Amino acid sequence: MPCVWLLYVSITIPYRNYLQQTLNDAVGKRIVIDFLGFNWDWINKQQNGNNWGPLTANLLLIGQEGNYTPVHYDEQHNLFAQVQGCKRIFLFPPSQFECLYPYPVYHPCDRQCQVDLRAPDFDRFPKLKRLKGYEVIVKPGDVLYIPMYWFHHVESIIGSGITTSITFWYKSGPTGKIEYPLKPQQKMAMMRNIEKMITEALNSSEEVPPFMQNMVLGRYT
């Protein structure tokens, strides 16, 4: 369902529990049996048909209603399988990069965004007003594909009880011939690599902002 902008109603609860764990034998026999019974023929077809790389991990996510994960992006493809309860997910393509103000790559919150979609600060982040994306509700039995470099905000819907999800993480597949113009996700990857290279070369994260400003301001603006 397309959406232009959404304001969130925050319900205050003192504490909410949330579990994020790599799926392995320690999580219990019943979960392992369910996992082995997943439709692997279908998921392998998705992997091969979309030229994904190898499966790297599965995460088990269990949370209370009202839990949320702030808007962020990942560097792997994600098949998000909903097992119990319902979640609302807002998806934003890589083309919305400048509207979401991601943290620098050397920041502790790397890959997360500075904006808070539950309490938007348009004075501090004016481009946030132009944000456009998609709203999805996932229910038990649904599997949502979240492409790498797509921003997403995830929340457990109030009234849906305990939520349980399992994620399937895939690396990017082999890179074929580069076609121009580059796609937004390719530009995001390139920006990350450039920022990492500059940070490592300067050996100081504090020098990165003035260095990049001096490189661009007055020359390309």
Q: How confident is the model at residue 10 (pLDDT cuts 50, 70, 90)?
A: very low
Is 43 within a domain? yes
User: For residue 181, what pLDDT is reported?
Assistant: 97
For residues 43 and 171, the answer to whether their CB atoms sit within 8 Å is: no
Describe the crossing of helices 184-202 and 208-216 by its angle, rounded to 10 degrees. 120
Residue 188 in 3-state DSSP?
helix
Specify the CATH number for the domain of residue 71: 2.60.120.10
- Residues of the domain holding 22: 18-93+133-174
CA–CA gap between residue 152 and residue 71 (Å, rounded): 5
Is 206 within a domain? no
CA–CA gap between residue 88 and residue 192 (Å, rounded): 28
pLDDT tens-place string over residues 192-206: 999 999 999 999 999
Q: How confident is the model at residue 14 (pLDDT cuts 50, 70, 90)?
A: low
The yes-or-no verdict on residue 27 having pLDDT over 50 is yes
- The separation between the first and the last C-alpha atoms of the chain, rounded to the nearest angstrom, is 37
User: For residue 175, what pLDDT is reported?
Assistant: 84
pTM of the model: 0.90
User: For residue 29, what pLDDT is reported?
Assistant: 82
Is 192 within a domain? no
Is 117 within a domain? no
Rg (CA), the chain: 19
Is 168 within a domain? yes
Is 143 within a domain? yes
Q: How confident is the model at residue 7 (pLDDT cuts 50, 70, 90)?
A: very low
CB crowding 141-172: b at 16 or more within 10 Å, else e: eebbebbbbbbbbbbbbeebeebbbbbbbbee
More confident residue, 178 or 25: 178
**Mean pLDDT lowest for which of 14-23, 74-83, 204-213?**
14-23
Under DSSP, the state recorded for 73 is -
CA–CA gap between residue 128 and residue 180 (Å, rounded): 28
Is 36 within a domain? yes
Instruction: Provide the number of structural domains found in the chain.
Output: 1
Is 77 within a domain? yes
